[in-house]
Amino acid sequence: MRLFGAQIGKRVKIYPSADIMFPWNLEIGEGTVISWKVIVYNLGKITIGHDTIISQYVHICAGNHDFKSPDFTLLKTPVTIGNHVWIAADAFIAPGVNIGDHSVIYARSVVVKNIPDNTVAAGHPAKPLHENLLIH
């Protein structure tokens, strides 16, 4: 992936079944894991911090369409996932979302709004369950 322009830190593990659409729009910090069957749909840039875990079947989406535009304009909206984050199995991260450092997203959550640092969030749409926790 580095040959195709991805910026990937040291000690990163990306499972072979992960589907990364456009490596040149991907930046990953050191020590991060992208598990099996993860979809990284990075029409826009996706930045993932260091020591972060993206669990199986997670879908990170940095592309959408403007349904109000007559030509259904393609939007390439970046996604940022912080450091020391855990996104549990089968979660969906929507375009334009920022997930703060030391946060946890529960399994099968749908994240459509920013999640602050030190927050545990869950649901459809995801809402904070615990905030301002110092999660290591």
In Å, how far are 16, 70, 73, 128, 134 from 80, measured between CA atoms?
22, 29, 22, 18, 20
In Å, how far are 8, 41, 42, 90, 127 from 79, measured between CA atoms?
16, 10, 8, 17, 18
pLDDT at position 130: 82
Domain boundaries defined on the chain = 2-123
Three-state secondary-structure class, residue 135:
coil
Residues marked as catalytic:
65
pLDDT tens-digit profile, the chain (136 residues): 888 999 999 999 999 999 999 999 999 999 999 999 999 999 999 999 999 999 999 999 999 999 999 999 999 999 999 999 999 999 999 999 999 999 999 999 999 999 999 999 999 999 999 877 665 5
pTM over 0.75: yes
* CB neighbour burial string for 16-31, b if at least 16 within 10 angstroms, e if fewer: eebebebbebbbbbeb
Take residue 4 and report the two structure tokens written for it. Answer: 């195709």
Angstrom distance (rounded) from CA 127 to CA 49:
21
Considering the four listed CATH numbers 3.40.220.10, 3.40.50.1100, 2.160.10.10, 3.90.1150.10, the one that applies to the domain covering 2-123 is: 2.160.10.10
